[in-house]
Amino acid sequence: MIEFIDDSEPWRPTTSGERLLFLLLKNHKEARYLSDALTESGLRFARRYGDWSNFLIGASLLHLQQRLIKLGNDVRESAANRLDQIRELRARTCDIVQLTPIEYGADFGELIQEVLVSAEQMRRNIPDGLRKAVLRTGGQRCYSCGRLFGAVHDMEEGELKPTVDHVWPRALGGDSGEENLLLACQSCNSTKGHIATWHMAWIQPIVFSDIDEVDGPPPVPREVQMALHMRAATTYARANGTTLRDAFLTIGPRDRPAKIDLEQGYDFFNMRVHDETRTMVKWIPG
């Protein structure tokens, strides 16, 4: 479970935002230095070396990506000409983010172009014809929680209606194409928001003591359950060379949170929301 440490392309990308992330992972010299340093350090901090190292790298890269896309969006609003946008974004990237061609070990122009393409996705809505096609053929259940569309699960909500969700969020460069769209209920879609991977989730405070196992695990916030689901999907996609969309379809909706290592308490890295036997996604806290 170290997809951001030892692999410059953790899964098969289908969107500009994923390609931008992988460009930063592969070519940002500081990110690679951090990855190599953590890999070679041999540290085993409280049995969470791999998990926390991966989190640190992933969260740092995604934070940088968000800042770059924000700059790209600002430049697109201030300059109409593409060449002017490239020049202005290049200057702002160097001055504001302090990411320069010296710190970037590849074609800096390619990076700037991908930032602008990712920023463009924020304004692009799903074409009506494609939205209707996804609604018609996308399945009968929410890909995240597994609830059946059309059924009444909550009297206050009424019948559960499908929405079209961007697997990789538009705010992070997610394209509005078929390869990046799945059907989700409104609740899961809105809860997920702009979370792209588990590295963006609220995981630090998720440490629970053991309770009466008859009642199962303690209440786990929906955002955390979705992050664990994303973690399983990225693990599957990395192991099998698939896209995130195909990974979610293969592993199926999330299950009830369960403990992995029975000798440890409930914390983010010791919980799973997938059936390991069915999905063939296995890991141990480490």
Structure tokens at 116: 């602008």
For the ranges 65-69, 159-163, 262-266, the lowest mean pLDDT is seen at: 262-266
More confident call, 1 vs 158: 158
Inter-axis angle of helices 16-27 and 29-41, nearest 10: 60
Alpha-helix residue ranges (DSSP H) falling in 12-107:
16-27, 29-41, 49-78, 82-92
How do residues 35-55 score in pLDDT, each as one tens digit? Answer: 888 877 777 777 778 888 888
pTM over 0.85: yes
CA distance 228 to 174: 20
CA distance 123 to 9: 26
φ and ψ at residue 123, rounded to 5 degrees: -100, -5
For the ranges 153-157, 219-223, 256-260, the lowest mean pLDDT is seen at: 153-157
How do residues 228-240 score in pLDDT, each as one tens digit? Answer: 999 999 989 988 9
**Average pLDDT of the segment spanning 145-173:** 84
Question: Is the pLDDT reported for residue 1 higher than 60?
Answer: no
**Average pLDDT of the segment spanning 18-39:** 90
